[in-house]
Structure 1
Amino acid sequence: MLTKIKRVIIILLDSVGIGELPDAFLYDDVGSDTLGNIADKIHDFKIPNLSLLGLANIKRLSNNPPVPFPEGCFGKMNEESKGKDSTTGHWEIAGLKLDKPFPTYPFGFPPEVIKQFEKKIGREVLGNKVASGTEIIAELGEEHCNTGKPIIYTSADSVFQVAAHEEVIPLNELYRICETARSMLQGEHAVGRVIARPFIGKPGSFARTPNRKDFSMKPTGETVLDLIKKSGRKVYGIGKIEDLYAGQGLTDVVHTKSNQDGIQKTIQAIKKEGDV
């Protein structure tokens, strides 16, 4: 007899990998193992609560021995979708598999894309390369402040990121610029996400703010979120979930400022809704 599940709470830990997948060579990720490598390098690394749930029973983790009788069910899953970015992973967790990966740009975006973008927003841009977000604002932030040119960069993920100082390009305008990029980057150049990356400060001490905003592709098919919503049940999206699903399949959206804030907001939602 099947047991009726009244609710499901899914908490996703970003960048908490437990080893490479068979296609790691396609993404220059051979040898990747975030948890294992951290445990090997940091001798006092302890995860007692996650170990109690069964995490340390999945694979060997230094200083975190397997638990004889874990309190949770545990296992390691392979992603079937093509791609390794946040959007692809979140969509698959909700039942939507991608057979074609979102495009990536290891050498920056093609000149025709940048020229079209500059024309649409009425500004020239800086950057257009793969870079760390903190490093590129340190490198180009002062020039951006002097010229008003937004900073464009990407990463190993399928992202088009736009960085701007909040006093040079106000948030509303930065978001509008990103919406322009999102509407433009379709078809061949349909990146998974366009991301607004605002920052503040002076040269030498620039700092990113919590006002980041993601503009994701809309899911290309129906997800379990849509099915639950259609059934008349509530679907909470806490953190950047709204961005990753482009708001699709959600009934309630809660934005957060940090990991701790996300956990607190999740607890509040659980208490608020009871058994819903």
Structure 2
Amino acid sequence: MARRAVILVLDGVGIGAAHDVAAYGDEGSDTLGNLARAVGGLRLPNLGAAGLGNIAPLEGLPPSPAPHGAWGLMEPRSAGKDSTTGHWEIAGVHLAQPFPTYPQGFPPEVLEEFARRTGRGVIGNVVGSGTKVLEDFGAEHQATGKWIVYTSADSVFQVAAHEETIPLAELYAACETARAMLVAPHNPSRVIARPFVGTPGAWQRTKNRADYSIAPPEDTLLDALMAAGIPRTGVGKVDDLFARRGLEGGHTSGNAEGIAKIREWLAHGPNGLLFANLVDFDQAYGHRNDVPGFHQALRDFDAALPDLIAALREDDLLFITADHGNDPTTPSTDHSRENVPLLALGRRVRPQALGARSTFSDLGATVAEWLGVSFRGRGTSFCTSLVG
């Protein structure tokens, strides 16, 4: 079947509170809505023409009278609000319990076991940003050779090491060790290697980051496509989020490189699926409460969208969505429990309202049907009504 589909995740670009937002303490979060008010109106003409302003009221982006795509929103059903959970739900897997987080740091027994298995001590064990952690512990790390272990509001076990103090290979091996030992109840969704260079007062994290994710507990859309022999390509961190199962990776340094790789795949890629994540909205701007930066990143994507649409073949579908919210206007720098936008674009797409889908998994089910596999996961396909 000569068909292709793109799932393009704008990381953290939520579109309003989910039905259970109070359970997550995220009342008032509305990433796109609050951002629009904060900047005096969104300036996203191409996303507006695709139907973004038809999904929910957004200042500066009135509903289009004739969108050229289909539009709707998707509600989260899995417990949690992290990237792993959101991407897994898109791919058909629901989680009953969220991944554990560690607002007080990791239990002593976890760090003692990590130190025993890796042969190095541990410092840090704090909740904080990577840059602040390096300021506080970088010099001590270099003097002692101990790992810097820290976490964030996300479910992550992060290990930082200076590349001249501990070789990259040893850092990666330590993170693989951590991934193997971190099982329930202490099973954070990701172990992250955070190498850095520099000197006190001038530390710099390098591009040699590596993520070690927990594997999905059930078959996903990617597994079904792999079993059917249908090619699957990743852009950004998606392969990490699926523990590199069923997806050929394509790591990127930011949105610009990610968009370039998407454009390249549209021009030359095989049939099958491209699963892409553009992380800057979340990583560079949402977590830093950078309202102007967040809006500019959206404007940059908006400017690139016409070229992506023009590159679509007759039997291509492009879906634009998100994995959770990350409202840069709220005091919190954490992810937020939000609905996510859903835009469907392509030459065969019938412009229409897709409504409020009850789970992100409806998207994975739709892609599965479009690509000719029987997998539906926990979702319901809307493929038949979407395409003509």
- The verdict on a shared fold, with TM-score over 0.5 as the criterion, is yes
1:265 maps to which of 261, 267, 270: 261
User: How far does residue 71 in structure 1 lie from its aligned partner after superposition?
Assistant: 1.4
1:209 corresponds to:
206
**Is 1:6 equivalent to 2:10 in the alignment?**
no
**Is 1:223 equivalent to 2:231 in the alignment?**
no
2:34 corresponds to:
37
Greater mean deviation of Cα atoms: 148-157 or 74-83: 148-157
* Greater relative contact order, per chain length (Cα 8 Å cut-off, separation 6+): 2
- Aligned identity (percent) is 52
State the one-letter code of the partner of 1:67: S
2:71 maps to which of 67, 71, 74: 74
1:255 maps to which of 233, 240, 251: 251
Alpha-carbon separation, structure 2, partners of 1:142 and 1:64: 49
Work out whether residues 159 and 193 of structure 2, in 8 Å CA contact, stay in contact via their aligned partners in 1.
Answer: yes
Greater mean deviation of Cα atoms: 91-100 or 22-31: 22-31
**Is 1:114 equivalent to 2:111 in the alignment?**
yes
SS in 1 for 2:199: coil
For residues 237-257 of structure 1, the C-alpha deviation after alignment (integer angstroms, 9 at most, x for no partner) is 22211111111122x322222
Alpha-carbon separation, structure 2, partners of 1:132 and 1:213: 17
- After superposition, the Cα gap between the structure-2 partners of 1:27 and 1:132, relative to the gap in structure 1 and judged at 3 Å, is farther
Question: What TM-score do you get using the length of structure 1 for normalisation?
Answer: 0.92
Question: What TM-score do you get using the length of structure 2 for normalisation?
Answer: 0.67
SS in 1 for 2:5: coil
- After superposition, the Cα gap between the structure-2 partners of 1:274 and 1:109, relative to the gap in structure 1 and judged at 3 Å, is closer
2:58 maps to which of 52, 58, 61: 61
User: How far does residue 176 in structure 1 lie from its aligned partner after superposition?
Assistant: 0.9
**Is 1:196 equivalent to 2:193 in the alignment?**
yes
Alpha-carbon separation, structure 2, partners of 1:71 and 1:5: 23
4+ residue stretches of structure 1 with deviation over 4 A?
none
State the one-letter code of the partner of 1:256: T
Aligned residues: 272
Work out whether residues 41 and 59 of structure 2, in 8 Å CA contact, stay in contact via their aligned partners in 1.
Answer: no
User: How far does residue 205 in structure 1 lie from its aligned partner after superposition?
Assistant: 2.1
User: How far does residue 92 in structure 1 lie from its aligned partner after superposition?
Assistant: 0.6
Greater mean deviation of Cα atoms: 45-54 or 90-99: 45-54
Q: Supply the RMSD in Å over aligned alpha carbons.
A: 1.7
Alpha-carbon separation, structure 2, partners of 1:241 and 1:222: 16
State the one-letter code of the partner of 2:154: D
User: How far does residue 60 in structure 1 lie from its aligned partner after superposition?
Assistant: 2.0
For residues 106-142 of structure 1, the C-alpha deviation after alignment (integer angstroms, 9 at most, x for no partner) is 1111111111111111111111121112221122222
State the one-letter code of the partner of 2:58: L
The aligned runs of 1:131-142 (5 Å cut-off) are: 131-142=128-139
User: How far does residue 94 in structure 1 lie from its aligned partner after superposition?
Assistant: 0.4
- After superposition, the Cα gap between the structure-2 partners of 1:137 and 1:91, relative to the gap in structure 1 and judged at 3 Å, is same
User: How far does residue 270 in structure 1 lie from its aligned partner after superposition?
Assistant: 2.2
State the one-letter code of the partner of 1:271: A
- After superposition, the Cα gap between the structure-2 partners of 1:136 and 1:27, relative to the gap in structure 1 and judged at 3 Å, is farther
State the one-letter code of the partner of 1:257: S
SS in 2 for 1:163: strand
Greater mean deviation of Cα atoms: 162-171 or 39-48: 39-48
Alpha-carbon separation, structure 1, partners of 2:32 and 2:133: 27
Work out whether residues 147 and 160 of structure 2, in 8 Å CA contact, stay in contact via their aligned partners in 1.
Answer: yes
Greater mean deviation of Cα atoms: 213-222 or 124-133: 124-133
- After superposition, the Cα gap between the structure-2 partners of 1:35 and 1:207, relative to the gap in structure 1 and judged at 3 Å, is farther
The aligned runs of 1:151-170 (5 Å cut-off) are: 151-170=148-167
State the one-letter code of the partner of 1:181: A
Alpha-carbon separation, structure 2, partners of 1:34 and 1:116: 39
